[in-house]
Each structure stands twice: as C-alpha cells, then as structure tokens.
Amino acid sequence: DAKTTQPNSMESNEEEPVHLPCNHSTISGTDYIHWYRQLPSQGPEYVIHGLTSNVNNRMASLAIAEDRKSSTLILHRATLRDAAVYYCILRGLGFEAGNNRKLIWGLGTSLAVNP
Amino acid sequence: EAQVTQNPRYLITVTGKKLTVTCSQNMNHEYMSWYRQDPGLGLRQIYYSMNVEVTDKGDVPEGYKVSRKEKRNFPLILESPSPNQTSLYFCASSGLGVNTEAFFGQGTRLTVV
C-alpha cells in the first residue's frame, strides 16, 4: 500500500492562508490523492481530491507536484472551524488486494487555528 | 441530504455479549466499509463490501462479522466482544470509483468491560 507522510501538527492564525504538505513518493500512476479532515468528535469528512492537475473547490485548493510525489492542501483563509486533523490519503484500485478501494490512513496533521 | 447513519453512538457492554452496530446510507453507494480508530494507530479497515452479498476482510477483521443483504445497510457484528475491541468505529460508503468521495457516519464509541 502506498503511504503518505505529513507533519504531526501545524498552527495558523485565523483568516490567514494555511498550506498543509504531504509527501507520497511511492504513489502509482492510478492513485488518486484525497484529503479528508476530522473535526473533534466527528467522523472524517471529504475535503478534496485530484489526480494530476491542481483542483479547487469551495473548501480548499489542492496543488499537486508535477512528479506527483507530493501535494499541498491550501486553506485560503483559516477559520476557527478549520481546526481539525487533516489526512492525506492515496486511493487506488487495489489490484493487489482484491480490488479493495480502501482509503489508507496515516496519522494526519493536527491543525490548530489561533483567534 | 446525503448521509451515513450509524447506531448507537455510544455503547458500553460486557465481554462476550453479542452486539450489532448498524450502518445505513441513502446514496445508493456500492462500496461500504467499516473502520476502527485507535490512538496512535489511525483508522484501520475492518471489512468492506463492493455490493450486495459481496463482502471481504480488511486489515483487522478478527473478531468481527458483517453482512450486506441490502445495498443500503452494512451492519457490523461482534459475536463475542472482548476488551481489545474497545474503540471508535466508523462506517463509510462511496461509489466504486477511486475518484469518488467517501461519506462517513458520526461514529460509534464502543467500550467492552
């Protein structure tokens, strides 16, 4: 299973941009890069995903390196509600494991947002 | 509203007493799975299902059973719970494509004494 590496924790100030990095040097050509976040006492929630090109949605932007070995989740203006654990996940077809399209979770980055 | 519903949210039980955690989704998703979340270990997949009557083991299936008789429901069964199954459990559903969004339930906090 391809793995991702993220910093354990990061800190930001409210209304400032936040760049959350992720390394995934063993990514395969068919793996999608997904980001989820988990707010305190809640289930994970989807943030964004991409394959090769940079992606934007209402929550965030995803910048993917040209060689796809790293990516960065960008929160343009952090709010207190953005304090959560952010997970960078690779999701592939899982041919080696019965086509199990599971999400492979690391420990994520715990983001603190200061008022 | 698209959602995954798990019940119960909290459960305290005794060793050996069979229990079922229910999971239901309203998005007609083919893929459903169960995860457990433990401090320092992250989320680990227990079982998954790619369609009705199609289930398979994930990374930590020992001590658990599942069934998928209907597309919307995917219950997790602990036939004889033990204290090492004390954990936070999440049910998730998504389409089969690896570029699809997964939806998670709110979690079930299980304590086995």
Q: A49 vs B101: CB contact, 8 Å cut-off?
A: yes
What single-letter DSSP state applies at residue A5?
Answer: B
Alpha carbons A80 and A83: distance in angstroms, whole number: 6
Q: What are A42-63's pLDDT values in tens digits? A: 999 999 999 999 999 998 999 9
Question: Does residue B6 have a pLDDT over 90?
Answer: yes
Share of chain B above pLDDT 90, in %: 91
Helix (H) or strand (E) segment spanning residue B35: strand B31-38
Average pLDDT over residues A96-112: 79
Report chain B residues whose CB lies below 8 A from the CB of A46: 101-103
Q: What are A60-74's pLDDT values in tens digits? A: 999 999 999 999 999
Which residues, listed in sequence order, are joined to residue B37 by a DSSP beta bridge? B43, B88
Q: B99 vs A32: CB contact, 8 Å cut-off?
A: yes
Q: How far is B60 from chain A (nearest CA, A)?
A: 13
Which residues, listed in sequence order, are joined to residue B19 by a DSSP beta bridge? B78
Q: How far apart are the first and last CA of chain A?
A: 39
Average pLDDT over residues A17-35: 92
Residue B56 has which token pair? 């398979």
Residue whose structure tokens are 């209907």:
B70
Nearest residue of chain A to residue B89 (CA atoms): A43
- pLDDT band for position B102 (cuts 50, 70, 90): very high
Name which of A88-92, B1-5, B78-82 the model is least confident about. Answer: A88-92
Three-class DSSP category at B85 = helix
How many CA atoms, within 13 angstroms, populate the side-chain half-sphere of residue A48?
22
What is the predicted pLDDT for the residue at B71?
A: 96
| CA B59, B64, B69, B72 torsion-angle sign | negative
Share of chain A above pLDDT 70, in %: 91
